[in-house]
Amino acid sequence: MGPPLTVCDRIVAATDGSCSLKAMGMAWVTAGGLYETSAVTGGPRSSLGAELLAIRMAATAFEVDQPLLLLVDSREAIEICRHCRLGSGGVGLRAPASTIANQLRDILRGRDIRVEWVKAHNGHPLNHAADRLANAARRAEERGQTQGVTNRTYASIISGLRRASAAA
């Protein structure tokens, strides 16, 4: 993997979540090809919960003193992050979003993390890769795919991101 893309010493990562009736998938990815995915079945599920979990994953993946720029395609998730910074967390939200928002409130406090909106499905290479990774994680969980198959899928997505980044 290459180093993550930085802008003014700020690591740039895109996050995304995917939700179905059976599972949620979450992912973050940097232009350098660093990424993390996760998926869950059971319990309460929501698209917003998946988006917030992806943000939480990215925010906790790097050192506390590392400035981050998170590109997020959910305006609602961005608004919740803004409220978390102000200390309100998940007030008024339903599970699982309320629980995750309360965790984000504690994670974001005192950190140099900017969360910015990027339009979904609009050709942004990082957003596209995060979307594909989150969907792949969710589908792998739903289908009970082996880790080998899942890893090959992820490798293909990251390879596509590298090609798109090289062409830009």
Angle at 76 between CA 128 and CA 155, to 5 degrees: 20
Enter the tokens of residue 125: 């290479």
Q: Quick one: pLDDT at residue 92?
A: 76
* Percent of the chain residues past pLDDT 90, beyond the cut: 70
Enter the tokens of residue 33: 């090809």
Is the confidence at residue 134, as pLDDT, over 80?
yes
Q: Quick one: pLDDT at residue 3?
A: 54
Angle at 135 between CA 51 and CA 126, to 5 degrees: 70
Q: DSSP letter at 3?
A: P
Which of residues 168 and 131 earns the better pLDDT score?
131
Is the confidence at residue 53, as pLDDT, over 80?
yes
Quick one: average pLDDT of 126-150? 96
Q: What is the pLDDT of residues 59-118, one digit of tens each?
A: 999 999 999 999 999 999 999 999 888 877 777 777 777 888 889 999 998 899 999 999
Query: DSSP letters along 4-67, please?
Result: PPEETTEEEEEEEEEE-SSEEEEEEEETTS-EEEEEEESS---HHHHHHHHHHHHHHHS-TTS-
Quick one: average pLDDT of 127-144? 97
Domains of the chain as residue ranges with CATH: 6-161 (3.30.420.10)
Q: Quick one: pLDDT at residue 2?
A: 53
Q: Which residue is associated with the tokens 């290479």?
A: 125
Q: Quick one: pLDDT at residue 61?
A: 97
Nearest to 58 by CA among 46, 76, 73, 70: 70
Q: Quick one: pLDDT at residue 159?
A: 96
**What pTM was computed for the model?**
0.90
- Other CB atoms within a 10 A radius of the CB of residue 68 amount to 22
Q: Quick one: pLDDT at residue 95?
A: 74
Q: Quick one: pLDDT at residue 74?
A: 97
